[in-house]
Amino acid sequence: MTIGDRVPRGDGPEKVTGQAKYTADITMTGMLHARFLYAERPRARIIGIDTAAAKALPGVFAVITQDDMLDVRYGFFVKDRTVFATDEVRFEAEVVAAVAALTPEIAAEAVRLIEVDYEDLEPILDVEDALRDDVDLVHAGFASYEQMAGVDRDRNDCAHMTSVKGDVDAGFAEADVVVSARYRSDMSHAAPIEPHAVIAEWQGERVTIWSTSQVPFPARSQVARTLGIPESNVRIIVPHLGGGFGGKCDVHFETHIAALAKVTRRPVKLVFTRREEFLATDKPRHAAIIDLETGVRNDGTITARRAKIILDGGAYSGDSHFASEISIMMLQGPYRIPNLSAEVHTVYTNRTPSGSVRAPGAPQTVWAVEQHTEEIAAQLGMDPIDFRRKNLVEDGDTGQTGQRFDNPNAAACLERALEMAGYGQELPEGEAFGVSCGWWFSLPVASGAYVKLNADGSGTIVTGAQENGSGSVMGMPALAAEELGMAPEQFSIVYQDTSAGPFDLGSAGSQTTMNNGRAVIDAARQVRDELLQLAAHTLEAAVDDLELVDGAVRVRGAPTVAVTIGELAAQAHGGELLLGKGSGQPLPMPEHDASECVGRLFYPAFAHPSFFCHVGRIRVDQDTGVVQVLDWSAAFDFGTILNPIGAEGQVEGGTVQGIGFGLLEGSIYKDGHQQNASLLEYKLQTAIDAPPIKIAFVGGPAPAGPHGARAIGEPPVVGPPAALANGIAAATGARVRHLPMTPERVWESMQATGVN
């Protein structure tokens, strides 16, 4: 058996020994280097661009602008963007021109020689102002943009969604107490260790692009669109990826570099500096304003909630709609709320376009909802844990669009996390426990895989799935091995190449194991059936009497009557190949009713939901507001754990990342310019900051996933900011309503509350 074993990752040795090749490591004969000219202003009209001096610089092979491109707009939900800025620049790092030269230094000098005549315009930076009818449009031509069916937008509101359940007015009329509050969060960055990098090379009319993309297939579609060529003429290969956390989803700079390579007829390479990684990669986590109002009875029963979220989408919509829809699904939380009215507005501003950072929309929304949960309990004079116990969803309860929960483990996660943390014990002054609960989903999207056996008895998995460092693709050999009676290390993987594997959405939405895992299992089962037929002929036995064990097919009860898989594979390669194909077609959404909702596209319900609880023990320095995380406990309902090493790694990494979101990570803006665009100024958690983390997995196999598994990648990052906030309030008596909860903000909240 391999399922549940602690299986080392197949790509581990390459990475830890330095043999793994990343996009930036690739060199080619005759390769040129690219640099970009950025707007360096949040909003301006382009009067003219003079590239003559740059083109005349020795060593420069090409300088291109939007005038050299097709007049085509692109975007996942709303096609609101051109490859280069055209009439107007809309954020400080918008690309105005690109240069290809012999060296990065020559390319950078050429960029400095490009002259652009701008007419500066007043930037739109406040999301609430942006929604007013008398404010300028970030996109004057928004009404003409193509969009995905079902998108609801108007003026600077590029994604409006609603969620309606029951009768919220009647629910508030039943309430004895109504609690309301406003919470704000800043923009934050994915900040993977590997910066964005792209290489493009043409052969005839076909272009091959090596990229740091998390979503090579969707990126291929956008490249084909913007270059005006068939998708079959675009091949995207992703070498080893040095992390992404959602910041490498969507198309980024693949088209820019492909266009330079086409003009020069040479391979062209771009590698971002760390400053560019902060300013130009348009995928930070959305800044948000979250308003919550909840009605409760004196006994703690929730009767109604009204909520509103405003997300700062920045200059372009990108994949912001995912964050819009996920955040609105977080507003009920894992609680029983019979009447709910919620809306979210994702707003155009002249800031960096936001996007799908790990668990888009969720950490900041859960941070607000879980603080609000404890504030309600305080208003009622109830213990916050007892309040949760009373209101957590149980079997048969419904979510905000009517989906019915089947044996949810929300309460079990709460109790297990409290137990591990030793919650309730007396703590020294300045220390406290913080608790948060939440839920997540497994995104049902299409995926596919092939499994074949080679003549030497080894196996190969060919998949379109993308490995962003989580280990999800590296786990596929275990699934195939389980079906074929082989060892995981006997399988190699061909992946991250759009010309090899079948379509896959990419490493987004915690979807890989759920969808590609099922595809690999289906493909392996086809191979198994072929093996058994071959073995039945060879062993002169009935198929039903055979089993696959330890790399061989043998007769049950007569283990010496056997033939190795290698022998069968060699036999098959003399004629029929042992090849299976599997399709992880999307599983159906749970039954729901979103007919009264507006703008819902991908998440009218949460498929195969999982639940979690975080409990952190913290210490707050009363004089400085510095928060120290002493230890952490977290319980998750992930169904079957396929590989404990991988699952524990995801929880540990996500928890530390979530602590960083909670305490440190936030972009500081002044007049539309980010002020902390470096790792020196944008603070991240380090290994020395990481607390001891206790982990528990509760519940049994899930009904739909491979071997009963649920999604793991994103849930661990969702809860930590909320647990920290509640711990800070318990330790100081002060609520911090602005994320991240930096020492300055903690100290200011303490002063405002009169603490010390």
Show the beta-strand stretches assigned E in 111-233: 115-120, 157-165, 177-185, 197-203, 206-211
**Which pLDDT score, from 0 to 100, does residue 385 have?**
98
| End-to-end CA, the chain | 59
- pLDDT tens-digit readout, 430-445: 999 999 999 999 888 8
Report the 10 Å Cβ neighbour count for 733. 12
Pairing of strands 693-697, 627-636: parallel
Given a cut of 90, is residue 666 above it in pLDDT? yes
Give me the phi and psi of 631, to 5 degrees please: -160, 170
pLDDT in tens, 3-50: 889 988 889 899 999 999 999 999 999 999 999 999 999 999 999 999
- Give residue 547's pLDDT band: very low, low, confident or very high (50, 70, 90): very high
Tell me the CB-side half-sphere exposure of residue 314, using CA atoms within 13 A: 36
Q: Is the pLDDT of residue 575 over 70?
A: no
**pLDDT band with cut points at 50, 70 and 90 for residue 702:** confident
Ordered alpha helix ranges (H), 194-294: 216-227, 254-264, 274-279
* Residue 614 contacts residue 435 (beta carbons within 8 Å): yes
- Region 316-341: mean pLDDT is 96
- Per-residue buried b or exposed e for 221-241, using 16+ beta carbons within 10 Å of the residue's own CB: bbbbbbbebeeebbbbbbbbb
Higher pLDDT pick, 107 / 455: 107
User: Residue 663 pLDDT more than 70?
Assistant: yes
DSSP 714: S
Of the listed ranges 50-64, 82-96, 380-394, 698-712, the one predicted with least confidence: 698-712
- What pLDDT is stored for residue 235 in this prediction? 98
Q: How many CA atoms lie within 13 A of 730 on its CB side?
A: 28
What 8-state DSSP symbol labels residue 91?
S
pLDDT digits (tens, 9 = 90+) for 606-625: 988 999 999 999 999 999 99
Q: Which residues of 385-394 are buried (b: 16+ CB within 10 A; e: fewer)?
A: bebbeebbbe
3-state secondary structure of 452: strand
DSSP state for residue 497 in the 8-state scheme: B
Q: What is the DSSP letter of 690?
A: P
In contact, 273 and 293? CB cutoff 8 Å: no
Per-residue pLDDT tens over the stretch 250-296? 888 999 999 999 999 999 999 999 999 999 998 899 999 999 999 99
pLDDT in tens, 160-203: 999 999 999 999 999 999 999 999 999 999 999 999 999 999 99
- The superfamily CATH assigns to domain 15-121+196-271 is Aldehyde oxidase/xanthine dehydrogenase, a/b hammerhead (3.90.1170.50)
- State the pLDDT at residue 421: 98
Sequence-distant (≥ 6) Cβ neighbours of residue 29 within 8 angstroms: none
Strands 340-348 and 302-314: parallel
Tell me the pLDDT tens digit for each residue of 345-366: 999 999 999 999 999 999 999 9
Q: Which two tokens stand for residue 627?
A: 């928060």
Residues forming a β-bridge with 461: 451, 493
What is the separation of C-alpha 426 from the centre of its chain, rounded to a whole number of angstroms?
Answer: 38
Q: What pLDDT does 9 receive?
A: 86
Closest to 308 (Cα-Cα) out of 258, 250, 369: 369
Identity of the amino acid at 120: D
With tokens 């058994």, the residue in question is 532
Residue 576: band (very low, low, confident or very high) from pLDDT cuts 50, 70, 90: low
* Percentage of residues in the chain having pLDDT higher than 90: 88
**Dihedral sign from CA coordinates of 695, 696, 702, 708:** positive
Q: Is 742 exposed, middle or buried (0-12, 13-18, 19+ CB in 10 A)?
A: buried
pLDDT of residue 374: 98
Residue type, 471: G
Residue 536 · residue 590 · CB < 8 Å: no
Dist CA 652 CA 456 (whole Å): 39
Between strands 32-38 and 268-271, the pairing is: parallel
Cα–Cα nearest to 332, from 289, 375, 382, 368: 368
Under 8 Å between Cβ of 476 and 514: no
pLDDT band at 468 (very low <50, low <70, confident <90, very high): confident
Q: What kind of architecture, by CATH, is found in domain 287-443+591-753? A: 2-Layer Sandwich (3.30)
Q: Which of the residue ranges 26-40, 109-123, 442-456 would you say has the lowest mean pLDDT?
A: 442-456
pLDDT at 571: 85
Is residue 224 pLDDT above 60, yes or no?
yes
What percent of the chain is predicted at pLDDT more than 70? 99
Residue 700: C-alpha distances to residues 168, 424, 431, 703, 712 (Å): 35, 28, 35, 9, 15
Backbone region of residue 22 per phi and psi (left: phi > 0; alpha: psi in -120 to 50; beta: other values): beta
Q: Is the model's pLDDT at 1 over the cut of 60?
A: no
**Mean of the pLDDT values across residues 489-516?**
92
Calpha distance 89→71 (Å, rounded): 16
Q: Which residues contact 68 (CB under 8 A, 6 or more apart)?
A: 259, 263
Domains 15-121+196-271 and 287-443+591-753 equal at CATH topology level: no
CA distances from 720 to 96, 594, 724 (A): 39, 30, 6
Angle between helices 384-391 and 362-380 (to 10 degrees): 110
Mean pLDDT over residues 560-578, rounded? 84
Q: Which two three-digit tokens encode residue 290?
A: 């979250």
What is the distance between the alpha carbons of residues 92 and 412, in angstroms, rounded to a whole number? 48
What integer is the mean pLDDT of 581-599?
88
Do 156 and 128 meet the contact criterion of CB atoms below 8 Å apart? Answer: no
Asked if 456 contacts 231 with a C-beta cutoff of 8 angstroms, the reply is no
**What is the rounded distance in angstroms from the CA atom of residue 231 to the CA atom of residue 212?**
19
- Rounded to an integer, what distance in angstroms lies between the CA atom of residue 643 and that of residue 631? 24
Q: Which of 93-107, 558-572, 687-701 has the lowest mean pLDDT?
A: 558-572
Helix, strand and coil percent figures for the chain, each rounded to 5: 30, 25, 45
User: What residue spans define the domains of the chain?
Assistant: 15-121+196-271, 287-443+591-753, 445-583
Closest to 352 (Cα-Cα) out of 385, 313, 409: 313
Query: Regarding predicted confidence, which is higher, 386 or 457?
Result: 386
Burial category of 367 from C-beta neighbours within 10 Å (exposed 0-12, middle 13-18, buried 19 and up): buried
The three-state DSSP-derived secondary structure of 520-579 is: HHHHHHHHHHHHHHHHHHHHCCCHHHEEEECCEEEECCEEEEEEEHHHHHHHHCCCCCCE
Tokens of 34: 């690219």
The rounded distance, in Å, linking the Cα atoms of 448 and 462 is: 9
How far is Cα 418 from Cα 345, in angstroms, rounded to an integer?
A: 36
Query: What's the half-sphere exposure (Cβ side, CA atoms, 13 Å) at 456?
Result: 5
Q: How far apart are CA 660 and CA 24, in angstroms?
A: 27
Q: Strands (DSSP E) along 121-196, which ranges?
A: 157-165, 177-185
Of 6-10, 225-229, 752-756, highest mean pLDDT:
225-229
The mean pLDDT of the chain is 95
Q: Is the pLDDT of residue 588 over 90?
A: no
Fold type of domain 445-583: Aldehyde Oxidoreductase; domain 4 (3.30.365)
The answer to whether residues 597 and 659 touch, using CB atoms and an 8 Å cutoff, is no
